[in-house]
């Protein structure tokens, strides 16, 4: 028997809203869209064309908008400084005793204005300024865009006393001259050395000697790499700053006792062994260890492993090796490292020559290699991709630090290799019981 039509279940049909219905819903729900629509339709009120209450727009609101000007002029704030006061504030912030310029080309904006950094807080500047502004917020808002706060100032650490003393004196004189409205031509120690009117006095003599030695040694290092003879190897050796083993989501008890990892990069420069290739290879050998003693015995261990690696893994037949290093007496420039150099032919079957950079001549190539390793390790720890607690963890992390560049034919000119050093022998009486007969002012041995 067929079911009557009035007992049959009706199928549910979903209504698809039209574009007009969606537009009306947006007008009723979104106040910003409703306000924009009311501004566009405000002219309707003048002609009494229609009633827009079904759009969620009341008649009183339409009347209010129809009487408004399209671009109304905002009221001037009572504490807004005048144009003359604004110019005084700009000149105040650009004074040499208030801000310091940053010689960093990467931070210069499109308007090519130099970036300057405040050397004090805003409150102290407001007290020292001779403007009529009383409120601090108004003073801060009037600051030019090229003036930044003290949080953008970098830490200047590990500086050479002779050069830093001259820099601070020149800065102090510049600030004094700015207060006295005197035009100072000398901005830094390099301009002071080139000043023909002042000449080089007794205080600038050590700086002139330091700059001369640094430039000459840098030019010699660059020239030697470009004209490197066959079967010669150049090593640039230096200790990097220790890596502090920090962890992401670190508990309070671990915050006050971080272990450290010693990093000693050795940059090796030699001719590429691939046939018909005359390029110079740069091989970065990164030595990591839990031994935090910076001494000549650790350097001897690192250099020995580096030479063995070059001979066995790279196939380098060395006739002469030149080791560039700084003048640290505990590591490179004392009787124990000199004795190791004198035994070079017995240890490696080739002579070693070690030129020394002048003391504290700035960062070298090995410092950059150490910085890359620490930055990559720190980034992995921050991202919770790796936990570094010791030198072995950093050594295992070496897989992510690949070679920089691979040429189409398969050989590389920029290489990176990690070494884990665990046991350093410091009982070497044949190398430590020697007597030094030399002057420490020499720059090569």
Residue 9 lies in a domain: no
The pLDDT of residue 431: 85
Kindly state whether residue 193 falls inside one of the protein's structural domains.
yes
- The CATH number for 238's domain is 3.30.420.10
Q: How many domains does the chain have?
A: 4
Are 335 and 265 found together in one domain? yes
Q: Is residue 56 part of a domain?
A: yes
Tell me, yes or no, whether 243 and 387 share the same domain.
Answer: yes
At residue 195, does pLDDT exceed 80?
Answer: no
Shortest CA distance to 113 belongs to which of 123, 130, 99? Answer: 99
| pLDDT of 76 higher than 50 | yes
pLDDT confidence of residue 16: 47
What pTM value is reported for the model?
0.65
Which of 248-252, 392-396, 434-438 has the highest average model confidence (pLDDT)?
Answer: 392-396
Range of the domain at 194: 155-203
In this structure, the answer to whether residues 195 and 105 fall within a common structural domain is: no
Tokens of 360: 């504290």
**Same-domain pairing of 249 and 368:** yes
pLDDT score recorded for residue 137: 67
Residue 269: predicted pLDDT: 93
| Whether residue 179 sits in one domain with residue 114 | no
Tens-place pLDDT, residues 123-149: 555 555 555 555 666 767 777 777 777
Q: Position of tokens 């600051």?
A: 143
Q: Are both 301 and 257 inside the same structural domain?
A: yes
pLDDT, position 258: 86
Instruction: Inform me whether the pLDDT recorded for 303 exceeds 90.
Output: yes
User: pLDDT digit string (tens) for 59-73?
Assistant: 666 666 555 555 566
Percentage of the chain exceeding pLDDT 70: 63
The CA-atom distances, in angstroms, between 92 and each of 87, 101, 139, 178 are 8, 14, 11, 11
Q: What is the pLDDT of residues 197-234, one digit of tens each?
A: 665 566 777 777 777 777 788 888 888 988 999 889 99
The answer as to whether 77 is a domain residue is no
- Same domain? For 199 and 328 the reply is no
Q: For residue 262, is pLDDT > 90?
A: yes
In a 13 Å sphere around the CA of 46, the CA atoms on its Cβ side amount to 10
**Full DSSP string of 102-128:** ---GGG--TT-PPPEEESS-HHHHHHH
CA angle (326, 330, 336) in 5-degree steps: 105
CA angle (174, 179, 185) in 5-degree steps = 35
Q: Above 90 in pLDDT, residue 420?
A: yes
Residue 370 has pLDDT above 60, yes or no: yes
Please check whether residues 379 and 240 belong to one and the same domain. Answer: yes
Q: Are 321 and 382 found together in one domain?
A: yes
Of 361 and 345, the one with more pLDDT: 345
| pLDDT > 80? residue 362 | no
């Amino acid at each position: 028997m067929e079911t009557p039509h009035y007992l049959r279940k009706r199928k549910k049909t979903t209504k698809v809203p039209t574009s007009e219905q969606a537009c009306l819903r947006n007008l009723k729900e979104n106040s910003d869209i409703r306000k924009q629509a009311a501004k566009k339709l405000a002219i309707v009120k003048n002609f009494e064309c229609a009633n827009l209450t079904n759009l969620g727009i009341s008649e009183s609101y339409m009347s209010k908008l129809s009487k408004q000007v399209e671009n109304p002029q905002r009221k001037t704030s009572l504490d807004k400084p005048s144009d003359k006061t604004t110019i005084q504030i700009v000149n105040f912030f650009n004074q040499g005793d208030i801000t310091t310029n940053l010689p960093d080309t990467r931070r210069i904006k499109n308007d090519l204005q130099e970036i300057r950094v405040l050397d004090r807080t805003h409150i102290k500047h407001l007290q020292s300024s001779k403007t009529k502004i009383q409120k601090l917020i108004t003073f801060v808002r009037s600051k030019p865009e090229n003036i930044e706060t003290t949080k953008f100032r970098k830490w200047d650490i590990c500086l050479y006393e002779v050069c830093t003393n001259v820099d601070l004196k020149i800065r102090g004189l510049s600030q004094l001259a700015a207060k006295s409205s005197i035009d100072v031509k000398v901005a830094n120690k390099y301009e002071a050395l080139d000043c023909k009117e002042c000449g080089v006095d007794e205080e600038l003599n050590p700086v002139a000697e330091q700059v001369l030695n640094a430039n000459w040694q840098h030019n010699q290092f660059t020239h030697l790499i470009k004209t490197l003879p066959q079967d010669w190897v150049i090593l640039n050796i230096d200790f990097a700053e220790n890596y502090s083993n920090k962890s992401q989501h670190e508990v309070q008890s671990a915050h006050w006792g971080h272990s450290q990892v010693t990093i000693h990069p050795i940059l090796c420069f030699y001719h590429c062994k691939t046939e018909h290739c005359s390029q110079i290879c740069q091989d970065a050998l990164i030595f990591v260890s839990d031994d935090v003693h910076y001494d000549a015995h650790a350097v001897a261990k690192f250099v020995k492993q580096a030479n063995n690696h070059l001979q066995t893994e790279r196939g380098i037949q060395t006739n002469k090796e030149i080791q560039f290093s700084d003048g640290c007496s505990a590591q490179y420039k004392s009787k124990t490292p000199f004795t190791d150099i004198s035994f070079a032919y017995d240890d490696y079957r080739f002579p070693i020559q070690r030129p020394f950079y002048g003391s504290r001549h700035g960062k070298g190539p090995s410092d950059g290699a150490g910085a890359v390793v620490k930055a990559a390790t720190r980034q992995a720890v921050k991202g919770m991709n790796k936990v570094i607690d010791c030198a072995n963890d950093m050594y295992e992390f070496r897989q992510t630090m690949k070679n920089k560049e691979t040429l189409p034919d398969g050989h590389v000119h920029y290489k990176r290799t990690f070494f884990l050093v665990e046991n350093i022998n410091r009982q070497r009486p044949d190398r430590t019981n020697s007597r030094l007969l030399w002057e420490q002012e020499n720059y090569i041995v």
